[in-house]
Amino acid sequence: MNLILKASPIFITLIVAGCGSTGEVKSTSAWNCSAKSLVDSSYNGGSYANIHLSAYSSGGDYKVKLNSSKTIASGKTADGTLFTCSKK
């Protein structure tokens, strides 16, 4: 008995945006935020920053801790990604 296998090619397109990079978002606000794979951010000096990482379809609000001079806010996203927002 002869067995003949015929394979058809499968084409897969893989798009990776910002993989493994450190992102910094410069905004028109008084703060610039940075994190690995950062797509967008928003921070106004309060208790929370909105951080959007490339692995997710949207951002989330994360608690920040301000340094004593209130010029650097730092926090951690739900997946453990560290971020900082620095006053301009």
pLDDT digits (tens, 9 = 90+) for 35-55: 999 999 999 999 999 999 999
Report the alpha-carbon distance of residue 13 to residue 67 in Å, rounded. Answer: 44
Residue whose C-alpha is closest to residue 46's, from 73, 83, 75, 84: 73
Residue whose C-alpha is closest to residue 37's, from 59, 52, 58: 52
Predicted local distance difference test score (pLDDT) of residue 23: 74
Predicted local distance difference test score (pLDDT) of residue 53: 98
Residue whose C-alpha is closest to residue 84's, from 68, 69, 62: 62
User: Which stretches of the chain score pLDDT less than 50?
Assistant: 1-3, 5-21
What's the pTM? Answer: 0.70
Predicted local distance difference test score (pLDDT) of residue 26: 63
